[in-house]
């Protein structure tokens, strides 16, 4: 079938359906399809270029619907030591171990490092995930940071005004000194970007180090009240509030 015909009938290749759903890259999708983990209307399909009718066909990956009707949004308290990826070659625990009972295929909204705990959103709404992670929407993310040292007012000022990291300057951040305890400063830091290991690199740029990092909020949604390793569903008003924070 030509691509033009495919466009008219809302057809996509199987590989594209999987990668679009945020499950993995196109290369990974091709690999998984050829491994026999993908079914189309209950039938195993090993051809990544097989056409899928987006209005009629049902695709499952590892038995879970890839494009289910209802959109699902959940908030997980990711513990330290869990990866935000789907599968780890070294078999370390992942956030999917904590959401096993969900029958939809969910994607994490952004990433948290292995050693970071706290608020992680997961959804099957890829547009929502894209919007919340797109840096041009400036969604605020708040972290509680335990620094390896006591921090001076000047160091906090540098965090606030912006620092030069190797991938460019950081945007101004909101920084509150929560307390100084012994040889450590505890900070609340709110940033509107989500660059790789950004908070850790920001602390290193002011000659300190992160000892503990917990994401406590995304926009107006907070982790408070949830136990580590547990999740809860977001209600429609919370989803709307998150989208509003991405419009700001
Ligand atoms: N910044 C980091 O350094 N790590 C995270 O996991 C999140 C933000």
Distance (Å, whole) CA 139 – CA 96: 24
Given a cut of 70, is residue 247 above it in pLDDT? yes
Given a cut of 80, is residue 12 above it in pLDDT? yes
- 3 C-alpha to center of ligand 1: Å? 41
Cβ–Cβ < 8 Å for 186, 209:
no
Structural domains in the chain, CATH included, are 3-65 (3.10.290.10), 73-135+221-247 (3.30.70.580), 140-218 (3.30.70.1560)
Residue 128: which of 248, 243, 245, 247 has the closest Cα?
A: 243
- Alpha-carbon separation of residue 156 from 17, 34, 130 (angstroms): 45, 52, 31
123 CB within 6 A, ligand 1? no
Given a cut of 50, is residue 244 above it in pLDDT? yes
| Ligand 1 atom 7, closest CA | 112
- What helix, strand, coil percent values describe the chain, rounded to 5? 25, 30, 45
198 CB within 6 A, ligand 1? yes
Of these residues, 47, 57, 62, 113, which one is catalytic? 113
% residues pLDDT > 70 (the chain): 95
- Paired strand residues for 16: none
In this structure, of 18-27, 91-100, 142-151, the range with the lowest mean pLDDT score is: 18-27
Given a cut of 60, is residue 15 above it in pLDDT? yes
- 159 C-alpha to center of ligand 1: Å? 15
Predicted pLDDT of residue 7: 55
pTM for the predicted model, two decimal places: 0.81
| Ligand 1 atom 2, closest CA | 197
Listing DSSP states for 211-234 in one string gives EEEEEEEETTEE-TTPPTT-EEEP
Ligand 1 atom closest to Cα of residue 201 = 3
Given a cut of 80, is residue 248 above it in pLDDT? no
Best mutation site among 77, 109, 113, 214 for ligand 1 pocket (most ligand atoms within 8 Å of CB): 113
Tokens of 130: 């894209």
Tokens of 111: 């990433």
* Section 19-25 average pLDDT: 77
Predicted pLDDT of residue 3: 54
CA angle 36/29/108 to nearest 5° reads 115
Catalytic, 113? Answer yes
Predicted pLDDT of residue 4: 47
Distance (Å, whole) CA 163 – CA 172: 8
| Average of per-residue pLDDT values in the chain | 92
Predicted pLDDT of residue 185: 98
**Tens of pLDDT, residues 181-202:** 999 999 999 999 989 999 999 9
Distance (Å, whole) CA 33 – CA 204: 42
């Amino acid at each position: 079938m030509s691509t033009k015909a495919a466009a008219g009938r809302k057809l996509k290749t199987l590989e594209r359906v999987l990668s679009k759903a945020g499950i993995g890259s196109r290369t990974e999708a091709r690999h998984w399809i050829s491994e026999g983990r993908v079914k189309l209307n209950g039938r195993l399909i090993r051809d990544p270029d097989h056409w899928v009718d987006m209005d009629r066909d049902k695709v499952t990956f590892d038995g879970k619907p890839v494009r289910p009707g209802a959109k699902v949004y959940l908030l997980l308290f990711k513990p330290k030591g869990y990866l935000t990826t789907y599968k780890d070659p070294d078999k370390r625990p992942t956030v999917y171990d904590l959401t096993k009972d969900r029958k939809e295929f969910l994607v994490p909204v952004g990433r948290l490092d292995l050693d970071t705990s706290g608020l992680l959103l997961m959804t099957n709404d890829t547009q929502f995930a894209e919007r919340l992670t797109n840096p041009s929407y400036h969604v605020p993310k708040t972290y509680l940071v335990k620094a390896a040292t006591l921090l001076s007012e000047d160091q906090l000022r540098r965090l606030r005004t912006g620092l030069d990291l190797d991938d460019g300057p950081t945007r101004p951040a909101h920084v509150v000194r929560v307390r100084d305890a012994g040889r450590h400063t505890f900070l609340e830091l709110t940033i509107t970007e989500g660059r790789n290991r950004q908070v850790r690199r920001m602390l290193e740029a002011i000659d300190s180090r992160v000892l503990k990092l917990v994401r406590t909020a995304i926009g107006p949604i907070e982790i408070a009240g949830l136990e580590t390793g547990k999740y809860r569903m977001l209600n429609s008003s919370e989803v709307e509030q998150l989208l509003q924070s991405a419009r700001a």
